[in-house]
Amino acid sequence: MIAVSRLLLPLHVILIAMTVIGHFVLAAGKSLTDSSVHYSQMSGIPYMFYFLFLFFTVCATFIYMLVYFYKSMYGDEGYLTFTLPADTWQILLSKSLTAVLWEVIDLFISMFSLMLLFFTDEMWVSFGELFSKLGYYFYREFGVRLTGVPIILIIAVFLLALLQGILVFYLCFTIGQISNNHRVAAAIGVFFGINILLQIIVTFAITPFFSTVNYNNTYSNIMGFLTYSLIIEACVCTGCWLLTTYLMKHKLNLQ
């Protein structure tokens, strides 16, 4: 965690600092009503830098997590990682949790940054109303006031999607390292292969859901879709996890 935070923490601190400064600059700009045209022209370049930096931060977080995994598992540092008195599932769990945690932190900071800079007062109000409406629809459909369930479902689907994305890459690296030569190229090849396979599996797995679609009830369709997505993601994550730990244990190839 410390190793990863060394780069990602300063990166996100800079993003927060840019957001706070931008927020005050925009607030100051709004008060300059007489020169608003001039102000909006002036703010174009900082906007561009802001979006570029935001994009860079989001990409860097994901890419760095993958590079860190590869270096610490299948690079020189792997000689230490794989000789620690720990089971392979414990090693994989620690890497996965670190990656998911940083992905979530990155997402929250990015969303917070965008909302703080660009949300108007009305948008903040409607954002709050969105959650109230979700609870209302659930009550109308099922007669039970469980405002938290759809939100929890959405968060679970989202978190599992993050985990799935990370575990698929981990699996690709783990298969790639079995190769005696060109391990990264092998991992990239495996990545494309696995994605095609996953597309096929997900298409077959989601088919039963479409046979249950009720065209008069959008809300239950959404809930059904979320539930199906959750189950499929959980299956994919479990498959990737089991295969990765098996290969780490029985096919480790640190030449």
Partner 1 sequence: MESILQCRGLTKKYGNLVALHDINLDLPAGQIIGLLGPNGSGKTTLIKLITGLLTPNEGSILIDGFAPGADSKKLISYLPERTYLSDWMRVSDVIAYFEDFYDDFREDRAYDMLNRLQINSSARLKTLSKGTKEKVQLILVMSRQARLYILDEPIGGVDPAARDYIMNTILTNYDPGATVLISTHLISDIESILDYVIFLQYGQITLADGADDIRMKHGKSIDTLFREVFRC
Q: What is the DSSP letter of 82?
A: T
Nearest to partner 1 of 1, 146 (CB atom): 1
Nearest to partner 1 of 76, 122 (CB atom): 76
Which residues, 6 or more positions from 231, have their beta carbon under 8 angstroms from its beta carbon? none
Q: How far is the CB of 87 from partner 1 (least distance, A)?
A: 5
Q: What type of residue sits at position 23?
A: H
Q: What type of residue sits at position 31?
A: S
Q: What type of residue sits at position 150?
A: P
Q: How far is the CB of 190 from partner 1 (least distance, A)?
A: 18
Q: Does 17 bind partner 1 (CB under 8 A)?
A: no
Q: Does 9 bind partner 1 (CB under 8 A)?
A: no
Which residues, 6 or more positions from 150, have their beta carbon under 8 angstroms from its beta carbon? 134, 135, 138, 223, 226
Looking at 180, 203, 211, 216, which residue binds partner 1 (CB under 8 A)?
Answer: 180
Nearest to partner 1 of 86, 125 (CB atom): 86
- Tell me the C-alpha distance between 69 and 64, whole Å: 8
> How many C-beta atoms surround the C-beta of residue 9 within 10 A?
13
Q: Which of residues 63-122 bind partner 1 (CB under 8 A)?
A: 76-80, 82-87
Nearest to partner 1 of 196, 254 (CB atom): 254
Return residues touching partner 1 (CB under 8 A).
3, 6, 76-80, 82-87, 180, 249-255
